[in-house]
Structure 1
Amino acid sequence: MQLFYTPGIDAASSTHYLDEEESKHCVKVLRLQTGDKVQLIDGKGNFYTATIKDAHPKRTQLQILTVAPDPNRRNHYLHIAVAPTKNIERIEWFLEKATEIGIDEISLIICQRSERKEVRTDRLDKIITSAIKQSLKAWHPKLNEPVALNKFLSSPFDGQRLIAHCEPGDKSDLKDLIKPLGKYLVLIGPEGDFSPQEIRDAIKNDFKAITLGNSRLRTETAALEACFEINFLNRI
């Protein structure tokens, strides 16, 4: 059954219209017809089953049959704040894979050593949308607009604050530090890492230094490693 992303759907309504992009994909690409059944996700944790009432290429009309919550909601909250890479395809790769593994929120942070300071979040959000459809997830991760690290550090977060960096000093393994079933915010720096001052500023704002192993990882690899480890450690 084909899956469509419908963030504006009303769970209390019996009818819904696909937007123009999804309608075109439904009718022109997939060649679905009136009477065919489809599955919908709203990005807020619900799956819908519907039939096509009018296979219009710009405004396909659907009849909602059933609504059911996603039974696989994760037992923790993961927010990764990562510096955009010079080659934006690397961050696109991270977003795709992290969405498949499981993540709730992504912030793009601009650091002293950042080589990329501007990002098209609309394009990145589409990559996340494609990944939730591919991996059959009903929750759509939140993608935040780029923000300067010094401003981001003081943002409120009700959970554990962590920073991964390559500078010398005391660092903890995630398995020894995180509390299961919690909320986690992880900072991942740019190519060239965080500056020593940025690390000191993060620690002053209650971030704990962590290690992701002995290898020197690329930005997007480090971000994905943190995503994987935290999800794995919460499999209890």
Structure 2
Amino acid sequence: MQLFYRENFAEVKQLDDTDSKHCIKVLRKNVGDEIWVTDGKGGMYHCRIEDANPKRTGLYILSEEQGFQKAKRRIHLAIAPTKNLDRITYLVEKATEIGISEISFILTSNSERKVVKTDRIERVAISAMKQSLKAYLPKVNEMISINQFLEENTASQRFVCHLSDLSKPLTEHKIESDVCLLVGPEGDFDPSELEMAAKAGFEQVSLGDSRLRTETAGLVGVTLLNLL
């Protein structure tokens, strides 16, 4: 199954320039061949090629399914990005494959990276969505301060990862349908940030007894939230 992505596909019924070239020039698809397209919002479309144009491949929708493999809960991961951007792109790729709804990058007192180019991150997420045959593209947010994030977050259930005696294992919680997981930088959160998070309704949780790197903690958390 070859999956392509086009935003608002039901309206345009065409692939974009990049996917058109890949479909016609690389995969050698032609008029009459059938492919699958997702709009990244839960729509999965079974299509037939009507115009094998390598710049704007025209398609006819044979059938469609909305809410394709919809997850049982909405998962929002907020994380302080690492200095090495490759580690963050790896996180986004794997989190998308596992299943995630939204990713936010936060700036904390101990953050190693203060700027993230979300256009690159979005391309990684799109590629991972297509590779894993998913129909939901996670929303990628621009970096904001942890103060602003805590003020604006509206998830019904909120957790902050922190390895301490006060932290209850994430696996011991009953997970709701709308959850946010906050993961700090390599140097951990400042005590004042943990205090702010608590006031904003974030409960401290642990992901086990091991000390995890930032991107590892994010992936473990996302995996558990999908399974619990």
TM-score by length of 2: 0.95
**How many Å apart are 1:169 and its aligned residue?**
4.1
Contact 2:44/2:68 (8 A) holds in 1 = no
Contact 2:155/2:180 (8 A) holds in 1 = no
Aligned to 1:19: 16
Contact 2:43/2:68 (8 A) holds in 1 = no
CA-based RMSD of the aligned residues comes to 1.4
Tell me, in whole angstroms, the C-alpha distance in 2 between the residues paired with 1:180 and 1:205. Answer: 18
Aligned pair 1:125/2:122, yes or no?
Answer: yes
Aligned pair 1:140/2:137, yes or no?
Answer: yes
Contact 1:20/1:58 (8 A) holds in 2 = yes
> What secondary structure does 1:154 align onto?
helix
- Deviations, residues 43-101 of structure 1 (Å, cap 9, x unaligned): 11111111111111111111111111244211111101001110011111111111111
Tell me, in whole angstroms, the C-alpha distance in 2 between the residues paired with 1:158 and 1:191. Answer: 25
> What secondary structure does 2:151 align onto?
coil
Aligned to 1:222: 217
Aligned pair 1:101/2:95, yes or no?
Answer: no
Aligned to 1:172: 168
Tell me, in whole angstroms, the C-alpha distance in 2 between the residues paired with 1:54 and 1:77. Answer: 37
What residue identity is the alignment partner of 1:115? E
Tell me, in whole angstroms, the C-alpha distance in 2 between the residues paired with 1:104 and 1:156. Answer: 14
Tell me, in whole angstroms, the C-alpha distance in 1 between the residues paired with 2:176 and 2:68. Answer: 17
Aligned to 1:210: 205
**How many Å apart are 1:176 and its aligned residue?**
2.1
Contact 1:75/1:181 (8 A) holds in 2 = no
Tell me, in whole angstroms, the C-alpha distance in 2 between the residues paired with 1:194 and 1:158. Answer: 20
- Deviations, residues 17-39 of structure 1 (Å, cap 9, x unaligned): 21111111111211111111111
What residue identity is the alignment partner of 2:187? G
What residue identity is the alignment partner of 2:2? Q
Where in structure 2 are there 5+ consecutive unaligned residues?
Answer: none
Tell me, in whole angstroms, the C-alpha distance in 1 between the residues paired with 2:155 and 2:94. Answer: 25
Aligned to 1:4: 4
> What secondary structure does 2:13 align onto?
strand
Tell me, in whole angstroms, the C-alpha distance in 2 between the residues paired with 1:157 and 1:181. Answer: 13
TM-score by length of 1: 0.92
**How many Å apart are 1:158 and its aligned residue?**
3.5
Aligned to 2:192: 197
Tell me, in whole angstroms, the C-alpha distance in 2 between the residues paired with 1:60 and 1:223. Answer: 38
**How many Å apart are 1:107 and its aligned residue?**
0.5
**Counterpart mapping for 1:3-82 below 5 A:** 3-10=3-10, 16-82=13-79
Aligned pair 1:83/2:80, yes or no?
Answer: yes
Aligned pair 1:111/2:111, yes or no?
Answer: no
Aligned-residue sequence identity (percent) comes to: 46
Contact 1:80/1:107 (8 A) holds in 2 = yes
Number of residue pairs matched?
A: 228
Tell me, in whole angstroms, the C-alpha distance in 2 between the residues paired with 1:146 and 1:36. Answer: 42
